[in-house]
Amino acid sequence: RLSYRQRVEILTLRTYAGWGYTRISTSLQIPRSTVRRTILHPETPRHPRGRPPILDTPKRQRLVRRATIDAFHRRLPYTDIAFLEGINACRRTLVHAFEKEAYFRRIAAEKPLLTEKQRADRLAWTK
């Protein structure tokens, strides 16, 4: 791995002196392929693109762990779970965070109670 000084020297010789790959590699005693790679792909730090996420992975995992503790926590709204974890985010952000961690909720369908006629029919069927 080249030092910062070596990379600057290679780029300076190429840009300002107009030297070729071979001449730079022989004068600095660095392989020609390394000189070529340094010139074609300079290692300037890149800034991350886009807005950073509000909820990073550890926070999302904390939310899912809290939501799956027991039946009481499973039935809590997302905003209450976030409040318990000390996270301040809107409901939509929380929904997306849970989806990203593959945690989904469904509304349980209520099973209707049996009517007197249905009970009588079932008793008659068993006899």
- Looking at the domain assignment, is residue 117 inside a domain? no
| Tens digit of each residue's pLDDT (9 = 90 or more) over 62-105 | 999 999 999 999 999 999 999 999 999 999 999 999 999 999 99
Backbone angles phi, psi at 4, to 5 degrees: -60, -40
Write out the residue range of the structural domain in which residue 35 sits.
4-40
Neighbours of 58 (CB within 10 A): 8
- Looking at the domain assignment, is residue 121 inside a domain? no
The total domain count for the chain is: 2
Residue with tokens 């779970």: 81
88 and 61, same domain (yes or no): yes
- The secondary element (H helix, E strand) that includes residue 124 is helix 116-126
| Tens digit of each residue's pLDDT (9 = 90 or more) over 34-59 | 999 999 987 766 788 899 889 999 99
Whether the CB-CB separation of 22 and 32 falls below 8 Å is answered with: yes
Provide the pLDDT for residue 107. Answer: 82
- Looking at the domain assignment, is residue 65 inside a domain? yes
Which has more pLDDT, 12 or 108? 12
